[in-house]
Amino acid sequence: MRKAVFPGSFDPITLGHVDIINRAIPLFDEIVIAIGINADKKYMYSLEERIQFIKKTYARETKISVETYSGLTVDYCKKIKATFILRGLRNPADFEFEKAIAITNRKLSGIETVFLLTSAETSFISSSIVRDIIRNNGDASLLVPKGIL
């Protein structure tokens, strides 16, 4: 049973996340989209809103569930018996950042991080760009799953 955790803030979920998740579905038996709770971080959308956006996007996908967690991602993985962490890579900056975290996580727990490269059409998308557009009353609907906002 291959169970993966896809951790992130998902503030909000974008078509970049969706691209990674959709391409990971055939690779795993179960994918838990895990929204990390960080008390020091300011979010645009509440936890409940972020959960609902993801639930709406994956209402019909039985392999996908949405959960929240606090603390170390590897501790959460152990708790729910997930043996993989899923992450997306957009560019070299993502790689450098993710590399240190993935190696640390493997040392701490033996959990493997699986990286998928974003597709060309969604590599430019980030939640922060989406938030900027929304804050300035622009139309972000081309960058997020249909009907969530």
What residues make contact with ligand ADP under the rule CB under 6 A?
8-10, 14, 16-17, 19-20, 87-88, 90, 94, 118, 122-123, 125-127
Q: Please confirm, yes or no, whether 106 is among the known catalytic residues.
A: no
Residue number, nearest CB to ligand ADP: 16
Instruction: Return d(Cα 54, Cα 66) in angstroms, integer.
Output: 7
- Asked whether the CA dihedral 41, 86, 75, 79 is positive or negative, the reply is positive
Nearest to 33 by CA among 8, 6, 54: 6
Q: How far is the CB of 69 from ligand ADP (least distance, A)?
A: 12
Name the active-site residue from 55, 63, 78, 90.
90
Element (H or E) spanning 11, and its range?
none
We find the least distance from the C-beta atom of residue 127 to ligand ADP, in angstroms, to be 5
128 noted as active-site residue = no
Q: Active-site residue among 41, 42, 107, 146?
A: 41
Q: Hey, which residues does 66 pair with through a beta bridge? A: 33
3-state secondary structure of 23: helix
Q: Is 17 an annotated catalytic residue?
A: yes
- Is 126 labeled as catalytic in the residue annotation? no
The residue among 20 and 144 lying less far from ligand ADP, judged by its C-beta, is 20
Show which residues are catalytic.
Answer: 17, 41, 90, 127
